[in-house]
Chains A and B, each alone.
Chain A
Amino acid sequence: MTNAHTDLAAAWTASIPRHWCWMRNKELLFEAQTLSTDGSEELLSVSHLTGVGPRSEKNVTMTEAESLDGYRVVEQGDLVINTMWAWMGALGVARHAGIVSPAYGVYRPRPSAPFEPRFFDYLYRSTEYVIEMTRVSRGIWSSRLRIYPEVFLRMAVPVPPLEEQRAIADYLDREIARIDTLIEEQQRLIEMLRERREATIRSVLLSGLDAADKGPSGVELLGAIPRHWRMVPTRHLCTITTGSEDSGNATEDGDYPFYVRGREVLRIDHYSFDGEAVMTPGDGQGGTGKVFHYFKGKFEAHQRVYVFKDFAGVSGWYFYYFLSTFLRPVALAGSNTVTMESLRRPLLADFKIAVPPLDEQRRIMAYLDDQTAKVDTLIAEAERFIELARERRSALITAAVTGQIVMPGVA
């Protein structure tokens, strides 16, 4: 093996099979400098999630350059590295020909080099190789590290015989597709659980737990509710007010929770409210009608956050369940736009809550608390599963590209 040691080589050496060799990238690749003359080729982009692919297939939010003249030509099988995002793993081997921004590095396999593009796509994008690239990158800001071509070309890389490269790539294509399917299925499971959670809440909040005679609620979207329940506008159930603070007054470790317009709850040094309350922002990026909070104790609120307090005839927690479930769909159904720019106080004051007798409220809350807690645990466990599956994906790639998995049919 070569002695051009990097620390990665030192760490990997022990596991690399004897019949593999170490080479330096410059022996496998050279920097391709061809520029597009008219920019008519397919524009490719590089992502740390999906590697190299046509830009049109990706959800790219950055604006496109006006002219594509002077973009770099990429041939199928070229390695493309986003010089500035290599530390995030934004690199890969191109599956299609096309062009990329001049800010990217394009490396072409040398004609006689033992280079199976699919194998090296896995290797260069492996967690360990990306970390090694980060380590040799340079920059004053950690978020603006760059890997320079001469540095990348000097890095060492383990190289199996070509036939084994193909076998490993085939193996990984198959296995990684399986893991990715598994991850997608778990994500679907999480979506279904969220849907189930929502459906349980809606159904119980409109029907209760016991069989009861139902009559119209008076709100079209809600349909029928038990006849012994009442539909009451919020203004008759609580006091509606707003906070008076600005987000700028938050402190990192303040003594009291501070409800602002976003989903996140900040901290602050002082409080204006003390007691049971439900909060929802009147506008802001968090999404009107999407962010709701419940709190009991001393707290502070932003000047554009509505605070519902001093509940009478309804439990604050029950109120929270109902408001957070139905405010958005009901208010949207009555408006002629699909997004709510802001919530106005009259709309909130007139919003009707379906109120069961107090003891029934208590039973409903207990039931919903139990049900949602179970589903939430399950979602957390499913998320943990996805995390483990991603770890397995990464470890499997590393194991395969360092020769730790014996490929059937390869000597």
Chain B
Amino acid sequence: MSTLGSFIWSIADQLRGPYRPNQYGNVILPFTILRRLDCILEPDRETVRDLAAAYENPNRLRIEVKKATDRPFYNTSKYSFANLLKDADGLEDNLVDYIDRFSADVDVFEYFDFKKEIIALEKAGLLREIVKSFGAVDLHPNVVSNADMGDAFEYIIRKFNEAANETSGDHYTPRDAIRLLVDLLFAEKDADLTEAGIVRTLYDPTAGTGGMLALAEEHLLAQNPDARLSLYGQEYNPQSYAICKSDLLAKGHDASNIAFGNTLTSDAFKGRQFDFCMSNPPYGVDWKQYAKAVTKERDEAGPYGRFAPGLPATSDGQMLFLLHLAHKMRAPEDGGGRVGIVMNGSPLFNGAAESGPSNIRKWLLENDLVEAIVALPTNMFFNTGIATYIWILDNTKHLDRKGLVQLIDGTSFWTKLRKNLGSKGRELGDDDRAKVLRLYADFTDADPELSKVLRNDEFGYWTVIVERPLLDDDGKPVVDRKGKPKPDSKKRDTENVPFTYSGSTAGAAAKTEVIQAYFDIEVKPHVPDAWIDWAKVKTGYEIPFARHFYNYVPPRPLAEIDADLEKQVAKILDLLHEVEQ
């Protein structure tokens, strides 16, 4: 818990009345970041003003400022917290001037819609007091380290999220879920990460307020304090974007790799790939308004485009993010990349053979990209009690894991929360997380009741159309011009034939033999006149997660139950006598 954070948050007490608690963040967050930047800029203010007078071209100015101050950003206003309060009547205008004169990369105030907030504060007669309060807190890096500032800012974000959760349907990923995702994401690569001075890129295409990036960074730095990390993110909600970027600025990061916009329609990092990618995309949210752009990209980008393997139904866009991330992994020849993504159950099984979702699964499995899928406990998220799954993708799997997918049932590893946070009534404690990681690490040796390792081809099946002859009034088959019997569409039946039928391990390659064997054993004996329409055979993939973790528990023997019943009757009679005495 950050004392600085709670101190800053307490400034919000002055807002009570005109502001509701869920609006406090709109004031506190931008003011905190403004004051932090103000303190950072204070020593060089004169230098920068002189440079600004000398160089009008912003690009040139940026270079000169960087040379003189070693910072990419600057502010050219003659106002700062030091003198804002001196001009009593001009406070509102001067503050606006101050935030207007930041260099272009400090765009967060615009996304916080901060000018509107300044006007509202002035109207409510609160602006002066708030500026005074923030001016009294020294946030200079010599006083407040990057780490402490990071903690304080995180505390404020959490307070803001807690207040906002009550009213908004927004989708925040709880930290315990992120921690597990991050641990799994780095599980295979932790050894590499201890290398001194290693440079790694982290990417979140649905960055939100930056929670995943922050925790992933924390994890990596704990492993290797010398690691140099670059954080990349994209976010389409203006306020979340501003918070995410401010958080990085507060921690002294280069925030220029946090981009505003919609990843699905305008990927800000086109052509870039990353070492570690992670995402908690929205589930069951439709993408109708982007459908045109996405389909256009699919049609124009060719077979290697990110959406080439298939498109999900427009009612649910989560698999688009899955595809997007699969294309964002660093290429195997450059060292490979890894993905961790949280989704609900539907990407495991939705869609029939050769539908978009099935084709996406087919592409992922046939390219051996799915390393593990972990079922999380239900009631883990703030706004939904739905069952969720972490998918781990890897394009350079460890030799032992090649061709295999590990399914882990983590649904029983949770600790009850003392008090529910929205729908969240459970959390993954440190022990719970350790258990899941142990199952992951034990791989083929893990407890089979909780972990299964399956070959990629075990998820495949063929959908086969079985036809039967159309009979005329005399009961004779009707034939077409080539003399072949015509099918009776009313008797048409479909069969799903698993790749693994009768023990086959050859996967898709054994199509003809396996389907024929299935037909001969399962269908022909019951309908001798049936035939397969080979032209209509379709290939599908599904991951029936729950089915693999089902255990048949036979009923107790009748004799055993009867013995218990006899004993029970005797006991009841004894007790009855006692009562009746």
Contact = CB atoms under 8 A, between A and B. Distances in A.
A8 interface: yes
Interface stretch (B14-22, B267-275, B288-296, B567-575): B567-575
Interface in A230-259: 251-253
A389 interface: yes
A14 to B, nearest CB: 10
Interface residues of A, number: 47
A389 B568 CA distance: 10
B493 interface: yes
Nearest to A150: B494
A385 B555 contact: no
A384 B568 contact: yes
A196 B579 contact: yes
Nearest to A385: B568
A321 to B, nearest CB: 18
Nearest to A156: B522
A164 B555 CA distance: 22
Main SS of the interface on chain A?
A: helix
Nearest to A145: B546
A381 B493 CA distance: 53
Given A2-B522, A251-B418, A388-B564, A140 B386 contact: yes
A378 B387 contact: no
Interface in B557-581: 557-558, 561-562, 564-565, 568-569, 571-572, 575-576, 578-579
Contacts, number: 97
Contact of A395 (B418, B522, B556, B569): B556
B387 A394 contact: no
A392 interface: yes
Contacts of A26: 493
A374 B578 contact: yes
B7 interface: no
A207 B395 CA distance: 84
Interface size on B, as a range, is 35 or more
B522 to A, nearest CB: 5
Contacts of A142: 378, 387
A97 B544 CA distance: 37
Nearest to A153: B493
Contact of A135 (B284, B386, B550): B550
B323 to A, nearest CB: 20
B465 to A, nearest CB: 12
A128 interface: yes
Interface in B126-184: none
B345 A135 contact: no
Interface string B534-547: 00000000001011
A391 B555 CA distance: 8
A382 B561 contact: no
A374 B571 CA distance: 12
A395 B546 CA distance: 25
A127 interface: yes
A288 interface: no
A91 B41 CA distance: 72
A141 B386 contact: yes
Interface string A120-138: 0000000110010001101
B417 A8 contact: no
B554 interface: yes
B489 interface: no
A8 B552 contact: yes
A3 B552 CA distance: 19
Contacts of B578: 374
A378 B552 contact: no
A154 B526 CA distance: 14
B346 interface: yes
A61 interface: no
A391 B556 contact: yes
A121 B419 CA distance: 45
B346 A385 contact: no
Interface in B391-424: 416-419
A176 interface: no
Interface of B: 284, 344-346, 349, 378, 386-387, 416-419, 493-496, 501-502, 521-522, 526, 544, 546-547, 550, 552, 554-558, 561-562, 564-565, 568-569, 571-572, 575-576, 578-579
Interface of A: 2-4, 7-8, 10-11, 23-24, 26-27, 127-128, 131, 135-136, 138-142, 150, 154, 189, 193, 196, 251-253, 371, 374-375, 377-378, 381-382, 384-385, 388-389, 391-392, 394-396, 398-399
Which A-B residue pairs are the 6 nearest by beta carbons? A395-B555, A11-B552, A378-B575, A385-B568, A392-B561, A140-B345
Given A24-B522, A196-B579, A395-B555, 17 more contacts: A2-B521, A3-B521, A3-B522, A11-B554, A27-B526, A140-B386, A141-B386, A142-B378, A154-B495, A189-B572, A251-B418, A378-B579, A381-B571, A384-B568, A392-B561, A392-B562, A392-B565
27 contacts: A3-B522, A24-B522, A127-B555, A128-B554, A131-B552, A140-B345, A140-B386, A141-B386, A142-B387, A154-B495, A154-B496, A193-B579, A375-B579, A378-B572, A378-B575, A381-B568, A381-B571, A381-B572, A388-B561, A388-B564, A388-B568, A392-B561, A392-B562, A395-B556, A395-B557, A395-B558, A395-B561
